Chain A
């Protein structure tokens, strides 16, 4: 177990130390700042579209770290060294998902509080939005790691990552942005759980295929 904990901690350390997390968070805030300029200062309108804007911004921000999640470890031989030590690729991917989420989610939630102010989100709508993000971000992190493993080593990996990842993130977006409606939160949880359970195996298989 401590082996996986070491991988999770390494992911967290690398996420913060190489500045890989600051960029998505700043990007997320920037999208939130752009919307009032584009839509106008109508507080009621902004408040109504705020959850959707924040979810779309979160999705786009989640794309940015994808390139540093798997490809550097593939190139530097870290994944090979872990495999030589008998660790299953899917297990390593699961640890990466956990490490990525532990870094990404708190930063995103903190930024959401700021963004909700910029978008005039009604105060009573903030808590449901944060809960929805808390439930949805594990799925988003898992999807990010699986996408990273699929596109690792390809030319134009960053652009390709968007095409691979965003369609699968649509259910998260739909149930996340309508989290106030009955049942949406449960469906969001179901989608997130499905991604968390399945994506490590997809990522592990992609890494294994990449070695051949």
Chain B
């Protein structure tokens, strides 16, 4: 799909991966996450990674709060769920079953899991899909805050997301 890609991100840096459908944006994110092996070359990284993929990976029959607590429990950060839900404006919906949530709310819930994980490396695959304009601004704010705290963000998107001083990677 793509070759000759050389990208290194230091703390506080971000990269915006753009390209037409099928260019390999999601594959790049999955390779960075360690889920796919690159056909050639290598990926190295320090610190835990948090992935926001196309699918939410939240049990539909559980309440939003309980579904997120499963993951934050695995991350050893059970207490972080409330704050993360507030950060994505979903605090009120914590008792609502995941299956009742709208597409955009599910995307924000997946974002809340990334926030709650406190992983230094964020890998976001089309994070703006299904979000309204207000929520995209929220997403941009969260990424900016993460970078200000020394985090790294690798974002693949076909929708415009404002990432100041981000490296541009066009596939």
A residues apposed to B, CB below 8 Å: 2-3, 6, 10, 14, 17-18, 75-78, 80-86, 211-212
**A85: which of B48, B54, B55, B56 is its contact (CB, 8 Å)?**
B48
Q: Given A84-B34, A84-B35, A211-B35, A77 and B55 touching (CB < 8 A)? A: yes
**B35: which of A3, A14, A83 is its contact (CB, 8 Å)?**
A83
Quick check: is B59 within 8 A (CB to CB) of the other chain? yes
Q: In the complex, A17 Cα to B58 Cα: how many Å?
A: 15
Say whether A17 contacts B61, CB under 8 Å.
yes
Segment at the A interface, from B68-76, B85-93, B143-151, B162-170: B68-76
Most B CB within 10 A of own CB, among A75, A82, A84: A84
Q: Which residue of chain B has the shortest Cβ distance to A17 in the bound complex?
A: B61
B62 CB to nearest chain A CB (Å): 9
* Cβ–Cβ < 8 Å partners of A81 in chain B: 51, 53, 57, 71, 113
Interface string of B41-64 (1 = CB under 8 A from A): 000000011110111111101000
* Cβ–Cβ < 8 Å partners of A86 in chain B: 48
* Cβ–Cβ < 8 Å partners of B137 in chain A: none
* Cβ–Cβ < 8 Å partners of A78 in chain B: 57
Q: In the complex, A54 Cα to B34 Cα: how many Å?
A: 45
Say whether A80 contacts B36, CB under 8 Å.
no
A83 CB to nearest chain B CB (Å): 6
- B contact residues, total (Cβ < 8 Å): 25
B126 CB to nearest chain A CB (Å): 13
* Cβ–Cβ < 8 Å partners of A6 in chain B: 70, 73-74
B residues apposed to A, CB below 8 Å: 30, 33-37, 48-51, 53-59, 61, 70-71, 73-75, 113, 123
Instruction: Say whether chain A's binding surface is mostly helix, strand, loop, or mixed.
Output: helix
* Cβ–Cβ < 8 Å partners of B57 in chain A: 76-78, 80-81
* Cβ–Cβ < 8 Å partners of A84 in chain B: 33-35, 49-51, 123
Q: In the complex, A18 Cα to B59 Cα: how many Å?
A: 11
Most B CB within 10 A of own CB, among A75, A76, A82, A212: A76
Q: Which residue of chain B has the shortest Cβ distance to A81 in the bound complex?
A: B57
**B53: which of A18, A80, A85, A212 is its contact (CB, 8 Å)?**
A80
Q: Which residue of chain B has the shortest Cβ distance to A82 in the bound complex?
A: B74
Task: Give 4 nearest A-B pairs by CB, closest first.
Answer: A77-B57, A77-B55, A84-B51, A81-B57
Q: In the complex, A14 Cα to B67 Cα: how many Å?
A: 12
* Cβ–Cβ < 8 Å partners of B37 in chain A: 212
* Cβ–Cβ < 8 Å partners of A14 in chain B: 59, 61
